[in-house]
Amino acid sequence: MSFFRGLTAQWVERYRKMSIQMVLSLSFTAVAAVGILLMGVSLIWRFSTASQQLVAENSQRVLAQANLNLDSYLRRMMRIADTAYYRVIKNSDLAEDSLTGPLSLLYEANRDDLVSLAVFDSQGALVSAVPLSSLKPEVNLVKTDWFQAASRSMENLHFSTPHVQNIFADPDYSYRWVVSLSHHVQLTRDGVTESGVLLVDMSFSGIEQVCRDVSLANGGYLYLIDKDGELIYHPRQQLIYAGLLEENNQAAAAYRDGSHVEEFQGQSRQVTVKTVGYTGWKLVGVAPAASWPASSPQPLLFGLSLLLFAIFLMAFLNFLISARISDPIRRLEKSIKELESGQADVEIAEGGCYEIQHLSRSVRSMVSTMRHLMDDIIQQEGQKRRSELEVLQSQINPHFLYNTLDSVIWMTESGQQEEAIQMVTSLARLFRIALSRGKSVIPLCDELEHARHYMNIQQIRYKNKFSTQIQAQPGVEDLYTLKLIVQPLLENAIYHGMASAEDDGLIQVSAYRQGDDLIIDVEDNGLGMRPEVAASLLDADRPQVRTSGSGIGVRNVHQRIRLTFGTEYGLTIFSEPDEGTLVRIRLPALTREEADRRQQGEVL
Amino acid sequence: MRERKSTLIEITLLGLLGGLALLSLVGPQLFRDRAAPQLLSLSVLLRDTDSSGWTVARQGMEQAADEFGAELRFLTLSTYGDSDEQTELCLREIDGGARALVVVPADPSALHTALLPCKTPVVTLESDMEGADGTAAPDNILLGQQLAQALLEDWDGGTVLLLDIDPSCAGVADRIQAAQAALEEQGVPTRRASSLDWPPQERWVMAFDPLVTQQTAEQKEAGALSFALYGVGSSTTITALLERGTISALAAWNDYAAGYLAVRQAVQAVRGEGQTLSPLTFSILRGEDIYAPDNQKLLFPVTS
């Protein structure tokens, strides 16, 4: 039980691992093979039955013909007996006439079929005989079967089984096999009738010839038995007499006319029986099962070949059809697998029958929806991130504000009214541009203005330890840029580049157009840094380090630009120790209209 | 990967089915080739100068040849019982392509020595031969004993003459030896004679060879002699002599069966299917037994 359970589980497991095409093709092939096999078995069975019937019909036909010939032969013998009786014996008075002359004539006319003709009285004494005329001295006819049969049943003709005729004294001692026909006759002697027996010895060769020429198809044969099953003729009679062969003749004697199947000596065979009229003999046709067409390996192998070819053809067609059916499903599965592996722009295969097309369309629709949702999420996430960065950026470092206001107080107290006014004005201007009425994209001139004011404040605070040059290529100032992207770089240049400067520090901001891009370079001649350090500044995985500047990091600027315009834009840092640092901002060169559209898109 | 595996399974399955279909188409041809074996060429060598005494045995041989797919060549000697000639004929037949020999050996030991280097199967009739693939003959010793027993039933005194015409024939020699022993055991005096002194002095004569039996009986009839003759054989002539009372008792066996079995054994030996042949059954017949149904079948072959 557990074995079958295990087997079932194994098959279920295999089934799960199979492709749909394999399942379809194997299932169809298995069903087709079973169907074809059942059909084949049915056909073979029908063929076997039909061939058995055919053999039986053939045997019956042959036996009917043999019966006709044998009957004709026996009737001829009976006519001879009748002739001898009615034309010779009945017309003769033994006291006056001899039967020998007429019997000799009759014998000569039929000598090919006859061995002897003889008439005996009721005591078995010879009345007349041809061609041999004397009996062996020791013979006692009354004890012979044929004599007794004729004496017992007077109306009938009696046929013996084959035997060697031994009653006549034959100087040649030619022992001949005969079948004796005996008949009770009325002899007339001196006008008085008495009983007698007419003996007609038929040559066995006559019967043999009738039967020998008859053959059944494919190794079948025919034999003749009397009503008790005693062999009269058999094609291998001598082998049976020699004890080298056996025949099922006793069983055949019990069969009725028709065809029967019997087992004899371990072999199946079909036996057809036909009773020969009058004598009660039986013609038996034997067709060994091995001789039946259905038993021959040739038609069976041919049938098997046809079956196998049909299964092969069915399997081939099934594989083709299943491939055609399953191909769209396989392509759909492949597309989904590509999707699963993260490939973008995967084309969902669509084909096959209605259901698969519908499925493909549904998957395509689902993928499209998913993509939109994902885009929305990405956009929302970007927007959120950008907002966060902008919020961070818009926050003024309290230290910066405190220091600035502290400087204003200090300057006011020390009577530096002009400088104090200038600082407060720059601070106010700084805030105005930073707010920009909530816009994230502002004209480059405003951004550069914002940078100037920021640098004004810082220069006052740092007592002009460094100088600042801010310039823009003609026409570039009308272009638009993200707001507050230059100031963090200036803050970075001041805190890291100008910290150790002594009145010779220089920070240059230059904006220019390069193709479709707007470039803003922020360059200082400060301490600089190693290129690998410069490269790592923009690394997204680098831990967030809050600078001591305005609190807005270079990396935030970089991320804001990339989130807003794409990864091809952003910052590039060039730096060498003791030579200074150049931070290059790359932006798309936005016109007013483009900036407005972008602003509207963000709002929406 | 899975697709490739599926394709591989499909191709294997198709190949297997195609191969099976092809094999079943080619199969019948193989069967046909095997179903038609070639006829085996067999030579039958007698020790007589003509085959008239072997007519019935020959019919049995031909029946077996027909059934088992053989063709027969019958050869007789120019001189009765000439062992050298028979040996020479045997070797010539083997050289000529005979696949097996069926021999009535004139001198079994000489023939065995001559055929020793040859691998051709040999089946003997009448006499056993060392190295033979079988012998289709009655139990010669038993036959001799039972024939002697038949004589003893009639014996009322006097010496029994045992005709030993051809002492080299082992089968016949066994019969004589057994008969002589059986007779002497019962105190019956015997005498062997290599030729018949005519007329014989003894009242009891035994012959152990069909030809000698026939010739002795015919001479007895011709000379109207009164000695009792006991012999062997089942030919029509010998049967007639038995019926007439010239032969008192006869040891007879079925020659048809002997011929049939000899050829069947030879064919089977060639095909490597040889089986041990059992001795043929025989009957001791007297004149009044001839027409018993079983004896009719034994003595008179059913032939057209």
In chain A, what residues touch B256 (CB-CB under 8 Å)?
238-239, 241-242
Nearest chain B residue to A307 by CA distance is B21
pLDDT of B267 strictly over 90: yes
Reduce the secondary structure of A126-179 to three states and give it as a string.
EEEEECCCCECCCCCHHHCHHHHHHHHCCCCEEECCCEECCCECCCCCCCCEEE
ipTM of the complex: 0.85
The pLDDT, as a whole number, for residue A603 is 47
- Would you call A584 an interface residue with chain B, using a CB distance cutoff of 8 Å? no
Residues of chain B in Cβ contact (below 8 Å) with chain A: 2-3, 6, 9-10, 13-14, 17-18, 20-21, 24-25, 27-28, 31-32, 59-60, 63, 236-237, 239-240, 243-244, 254, 256-257, 260-261, 281, 290-291, 293, 296-304
Contact B183, B230 (CB under 8 A): no
Nearest chain B residue to A306 by CA distance is B21
pLDDT of B244 strictly over 50: yes
Shortest distance between the Cα of B55 and any Cα of chain A, in A, equals 14
> Sorting pLDDT into bands at 50, 70 and 90, what band is B262?
very high
| Polymer length of chain A | 604
Regions in chain A scoring below 70 on pLDDT = 1, 291-297, 392-397, 500-501, 503, 540-552, 601-604
In chain A, what residues touch B60 (CB-CB under 8 Å)?
238, 242
User: A 320-379 residues with CB below 8 A of B?
Assistant: 330
CB contact under 8 A, A21 and B6: yes
Find, among B218, B220, B239, the residue nearest to B285 by Cα. B239
The pLDDT, as a whole number, for residue A219 is 77
Consecutive H or E run containing A189: strand A177-189
The pLDDT, as a whole number, for residue B156 is 92
**Cα(B192)–Cα(B182) distance, integer angstroms:** 14
The pLDDT, as a whole number, for residue A379 is 81
Shortest distance between the Cα of B56 and any Cα of chain A, in A, equals 10
Token pair recorded at residue B79: 């001189």
User: Best of A135, A179, A232, A244 to disrupt the B interface by mutation (most B CBs within 10 Å)?
Assistant: A244
In chain A, what residues touch B239 (CB-CB under 8 Å)?
173, 175
SS3 content of chain B, % helix, strand, coil (to 5): 50, 15, 35
Question: What are the beta bridge partners of residue A198?
Answer: A119, A183
User: Best of B3, B11, B17, B23 to disrupt the A interface by mutation (most A CBs within 10 Å)?
Assistant: B17
DSSP-derived secondary structure for A480-496 = EEETTSSHHHHHHIIII
In chain A, what residues touch B254 (CB-CB under 8 Å)?
241-243
**Cα(B249)–Cα(B284) distance, integer angstroms:** 7
> DSSP letter at A464?
T
The pLDDT, as a whole number, for residue B208 is 93
CB contact under 8 A, A22 and B20: no
CB contact under 8 A, A22 and B290: no
**Cα(B304)–Cα(A206) distance, integer angstroms:** 9
Nearest chain B residue to A22 by CA distance is B6
The pLDDT, as a whole number, for residue A197 is 93
Summarised one tens digit per residue, pLDDT across range A264-292 is 988 888 899 999 877 889 999 998 887 66
In chain B, what residues touch A168 (CB-CB under 8 Å)?
none
The pLDDT, as a whole number, for residue A543 is 62
Summarised one tens digit per residue, pLDDT across range A18-60 is 778 788 888 888 888 898 888 888 888 888 888 888 888 888 8
Summarised one tens digit per residue, pLDDT across range A370-419 is 888 988 888 888 778 777 777 766 666 677 888 888 888 888 888 888 88
The pLDDT, as a whole number, for residue A183 is 92
- Would you call A312 an interface residue with chain B, using a CB distance cutoff of 8 Å? yes
Using DSSP, state whether B81 is helix, strand or coil: coil
B26 contact partners, CB below 8 Å, separation of at least 6: none
Shortest distance between the Cα of B82 and any Cα of chain A, in A, equals 31
Shortest distance between the Cα of A333 and any Cα of chain B, in A, equals 12
What percentage of chain A reaches a pLDDT higher than 70? 94
Shortest distance between the Cα of B155 and any Cα of chain A, in A, equals 25
CB contact under 8 A, A173 and B18: no
Average pLDDT, chain B: 88
A248 contact partners, CB below 8 Å, separation of at least 6: A262, A264, A271
Shortest distance between the Cα of A25 and any Cα of chain B, in A, equals 9
The pLDDT, as a whole number, for residue A182 is 92
Summarised one tens digit per residue, pLDDT across range A146-171 is 899 888 887 888 888 888 988 888 88
> Sorting pLDDT into bands at 50, 70 and 90, what band is B304?
very low
Nearest chain B residue to A167 by CA distance is B291
Summarised one tens digit per residue, pLDDT across range B223-234 is 888 899 999 998
Summarised one tens digit per residue, pLDDT across range B19-59 is 887 887 776 666 665 555 688 999 999 988 888 888 889 99
